[in-house]
Amino acid sequence: MTESADRENETAKPAQQQETSDQNEIYGEDGSIRQDYLAAIGAAIADRDVLFLRDQVIPLHESELGDLLEAISGSQRQALVALLGDDFDFSALTEVDEAIRLEIVGALPNAKIAEALGDLDSDDAVYILEDLDEADQREILAALPFTERVRLRRSLDYPEDTAGRRMQTEFVAVPPFWTVGQTIDYMREEEDLPDHFSQIFVIDPTFKLVGGVDLDRILRTKRQARIEDVMEETRYRIDAEMDQEEAAQLFEQYDLLSAAVVDENERLVGVLTIDDVVDVIHAEADEDIKRLGGVGDEELSDNIISTVRSRFSWLLINLATAILASWVISLFDATIEQMVALAVLMPIVASMGGNAGTQTMTVTVRALATRDIDIYNAGRVIRREAAVGLINGVLFAAIIGVVAGLWFANSSLGGIIAAAMVVNMLAAALAGILLPLLLDKIGADPAIASAVFVTTVTDVVGFFAFLGLAGWWLALA
């Protein structure tokens, strides 16, 4: 990562451009904010040097300001926001962790927050509002002008994680009978356009969505052409109640830049844009990785107590399954007493099964998330995983059989661990594919629960197969 960060640094800011891109220079070679920049900001905060801070901070992109806020201490953050006053760009709050956002917003009076939110795009305003408690939300909304209030209220009325909650309520919409020339003239005259847009929407008098036109299409069409002749019917409209993850999948599948969001009466209520969707894609991938790792939706800025709490429940479930595995071992305590080598070797069988099961499970969970697995190929994938498990099982059975046989100078012991290995690797493959499929089928998130079930299966089967076979063989001998 360090290497490629260096490369970015060389290439993103060529020498002859440096004077125009000073802002980029807040990042050092490793991609994090430069230490001397942080020191200068910190000193200016301590000195209450508002002029210097304005000069440094106002030109920053909202994401750069977000990174800066995350890099300084809590007390510095409060002081910086206070010193900047109206010059503090609230949209930077959409770029920081929730804990930091709440900390900053929590320290400001509601009237101040309302004033700042009025200047933001509606999606950014909603993003900041949604985490506040209801009393604060109400007070802030009440302080906003009527149209703003109605817009934000509408977004907030949609459930969390829906397209309606994420959409921007500023958009450009024209009637189908306008000409391209009229449309361009309208955009030249109108003051109140969204900051950025890549598509204009076509609506009927009742605000029902009729279609959409990409801006490049407008630009390559003669002025006299009518909008209804150049528009496309929007195949990929998004219902405001749609889950944001579903919406993100539509964007990805059809390479959309923006899409109309409609209410239950087919009326245009907002627009969802690709930058929000990129955030959703990232958040979903993050969620999958973290759930597979057993850390829920923890963030780096969470404090010790909430981190302990969120990890505790996962570890508690794991403790229960570990005790279950121990109970399986305890069934064979007489066998182990007879031959301590079994205690030495048994973790190998369990560990190999656990890892093989995790491999299969990872592929399955990922394929479910990206919808690469479905009822048509599930059968084929299950057979493939079983075959892979069996082949790797036989290969590792041969290796561990020889190793164990030589180690304890006991070829029967080698044979027993080899047999147990084949059994457990096959069980691992089947658990790794079938458990996530089953969890998905019953509507549970396969990422969150698969890991614990899969390793439970491989521990229990591993110990049972190895110690059971050994006990049977010792009884024969």
Subset of 31-70 contacting a second copy (CB under 8 A) = 31-33, 35, 38, 61, 63-64, 70
Write down the number of H helices and E strands in the chain. Answer: 22, 6
Residue from the set 89, 153, 311, 449 that interacts with a second copy by CB under 8 A: 311
Looking from the CA of 179 toward its CB, the CA atoms found within 13 Å total: 7
Residue from the set 83, 84, 102, 274 that interacts with a second copy by CB under 8 A: 274
Residue 25 binds to a second copy (criterion: CB under 8 A): no
Residue 314 binds to a second copy (criterion: CB under 8 A): yes
Q: Which two tokens stand for residue 24?
A: 């980029």
Check residue 161 and give left, alpha or beta (phi > 0: left; psi -120 to 50: alpha). left
Residue 229 binds to a second copy (criterion: CB under 8 A): no
Residue 298 binds to a second copy (criterion: CB under 8 A): yes
Helix (H) or strand (E) holding 153: helix 146-157
Residue 340 binds to a second copy (criterion: CB under 8 A): yes
CB 461 within 8 A of CB 423: yes
CB 220 within 8 A of CB 261: no
Residue from the set 86, 145, 147, 222 that interacts with a second copy by CB under 8 A: 222
Residue from the set 46, 111, 150, 289 that interacts with a second copy by CB under 8 A: 289
Residue from the set 51, 135, 304, 477 that interacts with a second copy by CB under 8 A: 304
Q: Which two tokens stand for residue 293?
A: 């790792």
Residue 363 binds to a second copy (criterion: CB under 8 A): yes
Residue 24 binds to a second copy (criterion: CB under 8 A): yes
CB closer to a second copy out of 8 and 47: 8
Q: Dmax of the chain from CA atoms?
A: 97
Residue 246 binds to a second copy (criterion: CB under 8 A): yes
Residue holding tokens 């690797």? 425
DSSP 377: T
The footprint of a second copy on this chain (CB under 8 A) covers a number of residues equal to 149
CB 25 within 8 A of CB 36: no
Residue 374 binds to a second copy (criterion: CB under 8 A): yes
Check residue 443 and give left, alpha or beta (phi > 0: left; psi -120 to 50: alpha). left
CB closer to a second copy out of 51 and 441: 441
CB of 104: closest distance to a second copy in angstroms? 17
Q: Which two tokens stand for residue 261?
A: 């969001």
Choose the binding region for a second copy from 6-14, 123-131, 135-143, 147-155 (rule: CB under 8 A). Answer: 6-14
CB closer to a second copy out of 53 and 352: 352
CB 260 within 8 A of CB 212: yes
- Give the strand pairing for 199-203 and 268-273: unpaired
CA distance 388 to 430: 10
CA distance 212 to 231: 5
CB closer to a second copy out of 126 and 132: 126
Which strands make up the sheet holding 268-273, listed edge to edge? Answer: 238-239, 258-262, 268-273
CB 259 within 8 A of CB 272: yes
Q: Write each residue from 70 to 109 as x if it is in contact with a second copy (CB under 8 A), else as -, in one continuous string.
A: xx--------------------------------------
Residue 448 binds to a second copy (criterion: CB under 8 A): no
Choose the binding region for a second copy from 43-51, 103-111, 148-156, 240-248 (rule: CB under 8 A). Answer: 240-248
Residue 431 binds to a second copy (criterion: CB under 8 A): no
Residue from the set 155, 366, 435, 448 that interacts with a second copy by CB under 8 A: 366
CA distance 222 to 230: 10
CB closer to a second copy out of 254 and 472: 254
Residue 1 binds to a second copy (criterion: CB under 8 A): yes
